[in-house]
Structure 1
Amino acid sequence: MPVTNLPYDSRLNERAKDLRRKMTPQERKLWYAFLRTYPVKIYKQRVIKFFVVDFYCAEARLVIELDGSQHYTEQGKVYDEERSAIMEGYGIEVLRFSNREVNQQFDAVCERIDERIRCRMAEP
């Protein structure tokens, strides 16, 4: 069952809007070539708690994050771990892909997303 009333900081709404307008090339590719027309609703640049996540599927309780180079620094890794732990506390799975994976293994990324959504929606 989807978590419908997730907490969010409304002060981030403008930031989320700005990020939707300025998606990275990889976010744009994934959105327009796959997620936008996916049979289950997926939101882009969604505010959850005090974070803006790249993509969110409420029905599957799944966040999809695309990671650029800043995510591979020590600080970036720690931040991502803390953020993922908070999401998991709300019953949300965080699925991460590198920008490189989106660029070089696009079909495999899409298959993995589809598989996780289907699997999570089948859970009681």
Structure 2
Amino acid sequence: MLHEHVVILRIVNEDVPHIRHVDRISVDDLGHEDDGIFAVSVRLGFNDDQDIPKALRLAAPQLVESEMKVDVAQARYFLSAITVHRGVRPELPRWRQALFVAMAHNAANRVRVFHLPPDRTVAMGAHVDL
């Protein structure tokens, strides 16, 4: 069963240092008025903070116009996560596999990067063998 209201949030990283707050958020109701599902796109420059709760607060006025109230203090967050492992693909040299796996394992914790509350965040994902 889905929650009463669902926001599918997409982060779009732009190749500029900063995106103004008024240009940062766009909201789409996906064409079905009574399903409670909305798509929110957040445009961010490479110097902008990737604070997702803050982005939801910025999107709240547009969501209220669509008859959806957002309580950021009670929101639940679901992240997609991919775990990369070394495989046995002959077309990719072993040193490149090892380098890619090491870089993937050293990636920043996305819960912290996105400023998400750990007690209300669930990471779901898959394992990928190179």
TM-score by length of 1: 0.27
Bigger strand fraction: 2
Which structure's residues are more often helix, by fraction? 1
Using the size of structure 2 for normalisation, the TM-score is 0.26
Structure whose CA Rg is larger: 2
